[in-house]
Chain A
Amino acid sequence: EAQVTQNPRYLITVTGKKLTVTCSQNMNHEYMSWYRQDPGLGLRQIYYSMNVEVTDKGDVPEGYKVSRKEKRNFPLILESPSPNQTSLYFCASSQVQGGNEQFFGPGTRLTVL
């Protein structure tokens, strides 16, 4: 089954404790992206990747890092989480370019205390 998976689905952590949210897709998509969703703000893009070893900032990249060492994986790293990073996070992928239909993961609900 074609899908985007994220882990963990739920995470409660404390300020400053480094964490990684994993994202994997099995559709051989070149493009992958991370979004955060906050009430009333819709989805905002954090980082995206056009292909292996190619990443770029989205609209709200501060406090986040990403890497794309393999085509299927695109982890999101929070080196020192803060309470304002409490949010619902989505990973997405699409074929070739981000302007095509994007396939979304199930989401990771992160709470930073």
Chain B
Amino acid sequence: SQQGEEDPQALSIQEGENATMNCSYKTSINNLQWYRQNSGRGLVHLILIRSNEREKHSGRLRVTLDTSKKSSSLLITASRAADTASYFCATVGGGYNKLIFGAGTRLAVHP
């Protein structure tokens, strides 16, 4: 079952611009995580935000969470060509024993 829905499905920007990806989900969560995947490779964890947190930063990444709207956003500032990848949000529910992934946003950053 797919819990998170990312928007947009694909995003194309120039180096130096900011990239914003959104994730909406349906049921209450314990935490929400963002992962990155380079083409055909394994996923790499970027950031975890708990349900009682509203914003979190890690380097050039900024994640927000609005539990009233059941949505999250991932902002990558000053993007680089190396940021080209697919980005997935994943939610963790009350059982705390599994991640449910969305279909992902494909980000292309052009030099």
| Chain A residues within 8 Å of B, Cβ to Cβ | 4, 31, 33, 35, 40-45, 48, 50, 58-59, 88, 90, 92, 97-107, 109
Contacts and interface: CB of A to CB of B under 8 A. Distances in A.
Interface residues of B, number: 27
B96 A101 contact: no
Given A31-B97, A98-B97, A102-B99, A43 B40 contact: no
B102 A99 contact: no
B98 A50 contact: no
A88 B40 contact: yes
A92 B35 CA distance: 13
A104 B98 contact: no
Given A43-B88, A50-B97, A58-B98, A99 B40 contact: no
A102 B92 CA distance: 12
Contacts of A50: 97
A104 B33 CA distance: 14
Contacts of B40: 88, 107, 109
A43 B41 CA distance: 13
Nearest to A109: B40
A100 B45 CA distance: 10
Interface string B25-43: 0000011010100001111
A106 B104 CA distance: 18
B68 interface: no
B89 to A, nearest CB: 9
